[in-house]
Amino acid sequence: MGFVLLLLLVIFGPPLLLVILSVRFGQLSQLAGLTGPARTRRFIWLAVLASGMTGSLYLLLCVLSAEIPGAHAAAKSNFPWLHAHPLMPVVLVSLAITLLLLCTPTRRPAGLSFGVGALLVLGGLGTHWFFTDHQEDVKREAFYQLRQVDIAYRDTGAQRAARDSFERQAARCYHKDLLDKEPTFPGGDRALDAQVQALMRPSAPRPPVDTYVLVQGIIEPTGRVAFPHVVEGLGPGFDEEAVRIVRHLPLFEPGILRATAEGEQRPVAVHEQIYVSFYQ
């Protein structure tokens, strides 16, 4: 019951609040005859109402453009552009209302109040967007560009010999479904990342965003990583450094083959993928 009430509030709250605030703003928008402190208080009150109207409109657009999960498909918005740019229509509507009020002689002070109130909310929303969604967009674009560089780099034949050597040895590796224990790095993933950072040279390239190179190899029965090669890289400099680090890692705890009627448990060779993180 509580969830249903919350859902109704989310759906119908913003438009209802927008209507109430708009009606009240219209009632108070005539400042003729007000002077001194009374006029100042009315100006401030109109700016507060304008802020509420602007915020309510933004929430309404966010609700209308929200991504709706499908039963057999990924979540999808009915208004993709609006979902990606909810702030733009709010800016345009706020600007239009401000100009309309300013063009009406009897409501020019109300137009100034509306502009101030809307600007306060839009400034806050814009700041929030810049430090959240915009930064994520910047990171995604930087990550995409790095991957494109890596694709072009690998097309030149870089690490082809290492991949060929790995593929020739792949047949002797055991699938993880046949293991009692998969290969692990002593201390777990955190210890592995700490070791990676300790082995990284000070002169290693630094990416514009925190990212990684994915290195594939074979964990031998001895725990050594053999035939490391890049399967998802960042391009020249990054890929070579990642492979060098993996070659110098301490021994892993090897994969242990499950005991069967034909034989007892024993360490065996297993495919493994290792994330080599590069931080800004």
User: Which pTM does this prediction carry?
Assistant: 0.59
What CA dihedral angle connects 129, 134, 139 and 140, to 10 degrees?
Answer: 110
3-state class percentages of the chain: helix first, strand second, coil last, to nearest 5 = 60, 15, 25
pLDDT on residue 71: 58
pLDDT, one tens digit per residue, over 152-197 is 877 777 778 888 888 898 889 998 888 999 999 999 999 999 999 9
pLDDT on residue 70: 62
User: In angstroms, rounded to a whole number, what is the distance separating the alpha carbons of residues 48 and 120?
Assistant: 10
Q: Is the CA virtual torsion 116, 117, 120, 124 positive or negative?
A: negative
Q: Would you state the structure tokens that stand for residue 77, as one six-digit string?
A: 């918005």
Chain mean pLDDT for the chain: 87
pLDDT on residue 36: 86
SS3 25: helix
- Give the residue-averaged pLDDT of 28-57: 89
Q: Give exposure, 186-204, as e/b (b: 16+ Cβ within 10 Å).
A: eeeeeebbebbeebbeeee
Strands 67-68 and 76-77: antiparallel
The domain ranges of the chain are 2-68+77-131, 138-278
Grade residue 214 by pLDDT with cuts at 50, 70 and 90.
Answer: very high
SS3 272: strand
pLDDT on residue 129: 81
Residue 6 has pLDDT above 90, yes or no: no
SS3 66: coil
